[in-house]
Amino acid sequence: GAVVSQHPSRVICKSGTSVKIECRSLDFQATTMFWYRQFPKKSLMLMATSNEGSKATYEQGVEKDKFLINHASLTLSTLTVTSAHPEDSSFYICSPGGDGETQYFGPGTRLLVL
């Protein structure tokens, strides 16, 4: 299966600061990257889809100015949580896009905003 890495695995930050999460597709080129958010004991909810070289598309209710997504290369996509607040504390997971057959996931990033 595809190897996907995320960095950092865990981050604690102060309210009002910005946090960048990196997602790397290590063994194949991902033209699309899906970003999910998961609250404790809840399901994964798709936040946005990033496309290499173009703007990301956001799901309804997700603030694009708060969650900045960049997909500058076929192996790297980043999610920046700007002016983070405690309610942004969550588990963020990336998943390189494929053809729909199988989706692999990164190990996730646990964000805690104090």
Partner 1 sequence: AQTVTQSQPEMSVQEAETVTLSCTYDTSESDYYLFWYKQPPSRQMILVIRQEAYKQQNATENRFSVNFQKAAKSFSLKISDSQLGDAAMYFCGFSSNTGKLIFGQGTTLQVKP
Q: Which is nearer to partner 1, 89 or 103 (CB)?
A: 103
Q: DSSP secondary-structure letter at 62?
A: -
3-state SS, residue 47: strand
Q: Which is nearer to partner 1, 54 or 102 (CB)?
A: 102
Cα angle for residues 36, 24, 12 (degrees, 5° grid): 60
Q: Are 11 and 79 in contact (CB under 8 A)?
A: no
User: Smallest distance from the beta carbon of 36 to partner 1, in angstroms?
Assistant: 8
> Which residues would be at the binding site for partner 1 (CB under 8 A)?
1, 32, 34, 38, 41-46, 49, 91, 93, 95, 97-105, 107-108, 110
Closest CB 79 distance from partner 1, rounded Å? 16
CB of 47 to partner 1, least distance (A): 11
**Pairing verdict, β 109-113 and 10-13:** parallel
